[in-house]
Amino acid sequence: MSYVLTCLLGILAGGVCVYVLLESKRKRLDEQQRQQEERIEYIAGLNADNAQLEQDKKAFYAKRISYTELQDENLILKRDLANIAVTVQKLTLDRDNQHESQDALRRQTDDLAARYLKDHVKWIGSYLTPSNFANCKRRLEKAISTTAPHNHGSSGTHDRNRSTRMPMFLRVRRVFLVCETRA
Question: 0.85 cut: is pTM over it?
Answer: no
Give backbone dihedrals phi and psi of 58, rounded to 5 degrees, phi first. Answer: -65, -40
Residue 93 within a domain: no
117 in a domain, yes or no?
yes
For residue 146, give its domain range: 108-182
Residue 58: strand, helix, or coil:
helix
Kindly tell me if the per-residue pLDDT of 80 is higher than 90: yes
Instruction: Output phi, psi for 160, to 5 deg.
Output: -95, 15
Whether residue 51 has pLDDT greater than 90: yes
Would you say 146 and 116 are in contact if contact means Cβ atoms under 8 Å apart?
Answer: yes
In a domain, 128, yes or no: yes
- Residue 91 falls within a domain, yes or no? no
Q: Does residue 149 sit within a domain?
A: yes
97-110 average pLDDT score: 90
DSSP letters of 121-142? HHHHHHH--GGGHHHHHHHHHH
The amino acid sitting at 48 is A
Please check whether residue 140 lies inside any domain of the structure: yes
CA distances to 31, 164, 172 from 119, rounded to whole Å, are: 127, 21, 12
Instruction: For residue 44, tell me if it sits in a domain.
Output: no
Residue type at position 86? V
Count of domains forming the chain = 1
Write the pLDDT tens digit of every residue in 32-50. Answer: 999 999 999 999 999 999 9
The pLDDT-based confidence of 171 (bands split at 50, 70, 90) is: low
Q: Is residue 138 part of a domain?
A: yes
